[in-house]
């Protein structure tokens, strides 16, 4: 994978923050949500941790949205992205 540009790093970190925000709002722990969307708990942990450079695919965001009962539009319609 090539080196991320500055704006890509910002977007990646915003997505991580939004994921954590939604999970905490739903009072769900990482392991439970990882199980619900059928991903490894360690992968899920990396998606939220800002000091880990691993990002998340749009497909995984879609599965998370389904688990929370929201749309992709709802996911990205947050002050975090402004």
CA distance 63 to 9: 22
Q: Which CATH number goes with the domain that contains 27?
A: 1.10.260.40
Q: What is the mean pLDDT of residues 1-27?
A: 93
**So what's the pLDDT on residue 75?**
98
* 70 belongs to a structural domain: yes
In a domain, 1, yes or no: no
- Residue 81 is given by DSSP the state G
Q: Looking at the domain assignment, is residue 34 inside a domain?
A: yes
Which tokens hold the place of 9?
């790093």
Specify the pTM: 0.92
Please tell me the predicted confidence (pLDDT) of residue 1.
57
Residue-range definition of the domain harbouring residue 13 = 6-81
Identify whether 72 is part of a domain. Answer: yes
* Structure tokens given for 34: 């990882």
């Amino acid at each position: 994978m090539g080196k991320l540009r500055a704006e890509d790093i910002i977007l990646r970190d915003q997505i991580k923050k939004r994921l954590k925000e939604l999970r905490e709002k739903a009072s769900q722990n990482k392991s439970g949500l990882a199980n619900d969307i059928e991903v490894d708990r360690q992968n899920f942990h990396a998606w939220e941790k800002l000091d880990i450079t691993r990002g998340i695919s749009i497909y995984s965001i879609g599965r998370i949205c389904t688990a929370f009962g929201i749309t992709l539009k709802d996911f990205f319609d947050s002050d975090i992205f402004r």
